[in-house]
């Protein structure tokens, strides 16, 4: 990618964001599910913990507040115990709820989830129970919001619509809100419902439907990730959008803009524990990025990262900027590449440490990459969070190994190392030893092969003096670049033996016959 996502996160500031939508209270009941009930063939949950979190539009607001935004929430709750819990949670997160109206004739939407633990395995959701009314909000509530929203929009850097189809996002209310946003040049982004009719979102600046929602809205099928680009184009054209982001779970996102630009934004593989809240997180981070002056490409990339982090947690979990930064630094790399010069490496290491992560360093020529190298690098990566490989330059290798080395030039060697998933950064050094490089980054863990004695390892004293440690990793027997090069040479000699030396030519002297001629 051509932009620096780390820098974008570091400069997000504290944008003002208005969130309109359906606020939900999420209740989690945790317990042990160790046996089957005697009353019916169902698991028996022995509850031991209850937890409340904000859901729906309130979840989006909560995520934004955790990410450092100033947030104002608009919507409705009932006049019940759940409403009190919602407002208390909003107050804890310093979210302005003066546009959250209390209604007498409907309950606060509650989603109650039962989470069971069994045999020390990862907890799993057993069942969800919903308490809700999905009718459109009454006319007096709609009129109050219509009256008060324009002033709230005027104070916002961006407006987010979090529609859960619980009655707040009526066509009339959204039409008025979108018109106000357009007139005040404030972007409005919508996370839509599942529906075949998206007319109420017409002329929002951007929307973030998931795969199923996008298919229902267009009547098209997304069988492959590439199909989402055509679906996105149809949504952009039909609804007069600046952009659409179709979220594709394991396939990342499809970004389609009104100017014709369309691309797939991939995501790295993750362990998915719970998809709850992933869509909310994408909406929150996309809105935050745009409010801070980012473009849609940056917003899509950051939304992808945050959504991926969310599915690694149980339930709706809050993320901090530091967690997003750590994931970017360790897995995505500012500037889009793993090969860094020394200054860029020092900056990357500083950011890794600021995110509370561990830096591991190893070095070598890595001339012909083989299984011994791979196992050492994988083992080194397991010792921390950010593996840096120092690579000898071509000139450095020649001084150390002789004029016939390296076999592979430094650019090729660096590219091969950067292509390994376990390697997070590659930097080339021209000195005979990596001491200056080690001094510059002072890794937490210094790794070398087991053929070294501790006292022979360059940089050991400096690393240990700064609180780090040395780890020697046993080598794989029979694997080295020298042996590999020798075997290649020997095999080449067997397959292509040298040409026999031709006999010496017969030298004739005028008038004198050779022995052969005389015979």
State the DSSP string of 321-390.
HHHHHHHIIIII-GGG-SB--HHHHHHHHHHHHHTTPPEEEEEE---S--HHHHHHHHHHHTTSSEEEEE
DSSP reduced 3-state for 90: helix
CA distances from 280 to 23, 66, 209, 344 (A): 12, 13, 11, 34
End-to-end CA distance of the chain: 83
**45-74, pLDDT tens digit by residue?**
989 999 999 999 999 999 999 999 999 999
Catalytic choice (22, 96, 191, 280): 280
Q: How far apart are CA 314 and CA 279, in angstroms?
A: 14
pLDDT over threshold 50, residue 516: no
- 326 compared with 135, residue with greater pLDDT: 135
Assign 279 a pLDDT band (cuts: 50, 70, 90).
confident
For the beta carbon of residue 487, count every other beta carbon within 10 angstroms: 11
- 328 compared with 94, residue with greater pLDDT: 94
Contact indicator for 267, 256 with CB cutoff of 8 Å:
no
Please give the pLDDT value at position 164.
Answer: 95
Please give the pLDDT value at position 482.
Answer: 57
DSSP for 201-260 reads: GTT-SEE--BHHHHHHHHT---SSTTHHHHHHHHHHHHHT-SEEEEE-GGG-EEEEETTS
Q: How far apart are CA 157 and CA 287, in angstroms?
A: 9
pTM over 0.75: no
Least confident residue range of 144-153, 171-180, 336-345, 400-409: 336-345
DSSP reduced 3-state for 53: strand
Assign 315 a pLDDT band (cuts: 50, 70, 90).
low
For the beta carbon of residue 10, count every other beta carbon within 10 angstroms: 14
Contact indicator for 309, 319 with CB cutoff of 8 Å:
yes
Domain 5-322 has CATH 3.30.1330.60: no
Contact indicator for 186, 153 with CB cutoff of 8 Å:
yes
pLDDT over threshold 50, residue 33: yes
Element (H, E) at 25: strand 23-36
State the sign of the Cα–Cα–Cα–Cα dihedral 34, 36, 42, 44. negative
Pairing label, strands 262-265, 206-207: unpaired
Contact indicator for 381, 471 with CB cutoff of 8 Å:
no
CA atoms within a 13 Å half-sphere pointing along the CA-CB vector of 121: 9
Please give the pLDDT value at position 4.
Answer: 76
For the beta carbon of residue 98, count every other beta carbon within 10 angstroms: 10
pLDDT over threshold 90, residue 169: yes
Every domain range in the chain assigned CATH 3.40.50.620 = 337-490
- 2 compared with 444, residue with greater pLDDT: 444
Please give the pLDDT value at position 11.
Answer: 84
**DSSP summary character for residue 512:** B
Q: How far apart are CA 381 and CA 391, in angstroms?
A: 16
Please give the pLDDT value at position 5.
Answer: 79
How are strands ordered across the β-sheet holding 469-473? 425-429, 386-392, 359-364, 445-449, 469-473
Q: How far apart are CA 251 and CA 268, in angstroms?
A: 9
For the beta carbon of residue 269, count every other beta carbon within 10 angstroms: 9
- The average pLDDT across 451-457 equals 90
Please give the pLDDT value at position 514.
Answer: 43
Sequence-ordered list of residues with C-beta below 8 angstroms from that of 429, at least 6 positions apart, any chain: 342, 363, 390, 391, 392, 393, 396, 436, 437
Tell me which residue of 271, 270, 221, 268 sits closest to 246, measured CA to CA: 221
- The average pLDDT across 374-383 equals 94
- From the options 3.40.50.620, 3.30.70.270, 3.10.200.10, 3.30.360.10, give the CATH code of 337-490: 3.40.50.620
Pairing label, strands 359-364, 445-449: parallel
CA 427 to chain centre: 23
Assign 243 a pLDDT band (cuts: 50, 70, 90).
very high
pLDDT over threshold 70, residue 353: yes
CA distances from 17 to 122, 245, 379, 486 (A): 36, 19, 45, 65
- The average pLDDT across 460-465 equals 95
**285-298, pLDDT tens digit by residue?**
999 999 999 899 88
Indicate the average pLDDT of the chain. 87
Instruction: Give burial (CB, 10 Å; 0-12/13-18/19+) of 30.
Output: middle
**5-31, pLDDT tens digit by residue?**
777 888 888 999 999 999 999 999 999
For the beta carbon of residue 441, count every other beta carbon within 10 angstroms: 23
Contact indicator for 187, 205 with CB cutoff of 8 Å:
yes
Assign 328 a pLDDT band (cuts: 50, 70, 90).
confident
Please give the pLDDT value at position 332.
Answer: 55
Q: How far apart are CA 279 and CA 210, in angstroms?
A: 8
State the sign of the Cα–Cα–Cα–Cα dihedral 140, 142, 143, 147. positive
pLDDT over threshold 50, residue 518: no
pLDDT over threshold 50, residue 515: no
Q: Residue written as tokens 């004293």?
A: 461
Assign 498 a pLDDT band (cuts: 50, 70, 90).
low
- The average pLDDT across 392-414 equals 92
Least confident residue range of 221-225, 232-236, 459-463, 487-491: 487-491
Q: Residue written as tokens 């691309």?
A: 263
pLDDT over threshold 90, residue 504: no
Please give the pLDDT value at position 320.
Answer: 80
Please give the pLDDT value at position 219.
Answer: 95
Tell me what percent of the residues of the chain surpass a pLDDT of 90.
62
Q: How far apart are CA 327 and CA 447, in angstroms?
A: 23
Please give the pLDDT value at position 519.
Answer: 33
Please give the pLDDT value at position 369.
Answer: 86
Every domain range in the chain assigned CATH 3.40.1190.20 = 5-322
Q: How far apart are CA 205 and CA 239, in angstroms?
A: 9
Which two tokens mark 240? Answer: 């007069």
- 105 given a catalytic annotation: no
């Amino acid at each position: 990618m051509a932009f620096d996502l780390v820098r974008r996160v570091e400069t997000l500031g504290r944008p003002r964001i208005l969130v309109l939508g359906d606020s939900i209270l999420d209740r989690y009941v945790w317990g042990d599910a160790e046996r089957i009930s005697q009353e019916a063939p169902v698991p028996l949950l022995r509850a031991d913990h209850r937890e409340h979190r904000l859901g729906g539009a309130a979840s989006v607001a909560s995520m934004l507040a955790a990410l450092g935004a100033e947030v104002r929430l608009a919507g409705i709750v009932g006049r019940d115990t759940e409403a009190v819990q919602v407002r208390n949670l909003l107050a804890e997160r310093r979210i302005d709820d003066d546009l959250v109206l209390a209604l007498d004739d409907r309950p606060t939407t509650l989603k109650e989830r039962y989470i069971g633990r069994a045999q020390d395995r990862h907890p799993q959701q057993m069942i969800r129970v919903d308490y809700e009314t999905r009718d459109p909000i009454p006319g007096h509530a709609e009129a109050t919001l219509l009256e008060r929203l324009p002033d709230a929009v005027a104070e916002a850097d961006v407006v987010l619509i979090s529609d859960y189809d619980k009655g707040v996002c009526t066509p009339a209310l959204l039409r008025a809100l979108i018109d106000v946003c357009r007139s005040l040049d404030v972007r409005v982004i919508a996370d839509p419902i599942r529906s075949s009719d998206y007319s109420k979102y017409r002329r929002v600046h951007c929307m973030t439907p998931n795969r199923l929602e996008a298919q229902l809205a267009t009547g098209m099928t997304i069988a492959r990730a590439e199909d989402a680009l055509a679906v996105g184009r149809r949504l952009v054209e039909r609804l007069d959008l600046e952009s659409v982001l179709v979220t594709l779970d394991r396939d990342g996102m499809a970004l389609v803009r009104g100017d014709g630009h369309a691309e797939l934004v991939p995501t790295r593989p993750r362990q998915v524990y719970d998809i709850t809240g992933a869509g909310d997180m994408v909406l929150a981070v996309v809105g935050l990025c745009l409010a801070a002056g980012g473009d849609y490409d940056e917003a899509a990339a950051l939304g992808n990262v945050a959504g991926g982090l969310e599915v690694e947690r149980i339930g709706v979990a809050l993320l901090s900027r530091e967690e997003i930064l750590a994931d970017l630094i360790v897995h995505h790399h500012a500037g889009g590449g793993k090969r860094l010069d020394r200054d860029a490496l020092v900056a990357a290491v500083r950011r890794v440490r600021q995110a509370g992560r561990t830096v591991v360093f190893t070095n070598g020529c890595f001339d012909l990459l083989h299984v011994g190298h791979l196992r050492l690098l994988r083992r080194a990566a397991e010792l921390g969070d950010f593996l840096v490989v120092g690579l000898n330059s071509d000139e450095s290798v020649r001084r150390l190994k002789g004029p016939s080395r390296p076999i592979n030039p430094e650019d090729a060697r660096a590219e091969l190392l950067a292509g390994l998933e376990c390697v997070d950064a590659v930097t080339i050094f021209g000195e005979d030893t990596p001491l200056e490089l080690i001094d510059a980054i002072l890794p937490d863990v210094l790794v070398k092969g087991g053929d070294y004695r501790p006292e022979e390892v360059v940089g050991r004293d400096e690393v240990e003096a700064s609180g780090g440690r040395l780890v020697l990793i046993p080598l794989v027997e029979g694997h080295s670049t020298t042996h590999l090069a020798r075997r290649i040479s020997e095999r080449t000699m067997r397959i292509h033996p040298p040409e026999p030396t031709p006999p010496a030519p017969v030298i004739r002297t005028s008038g004198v016959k050779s022995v052969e001629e005389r015979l």
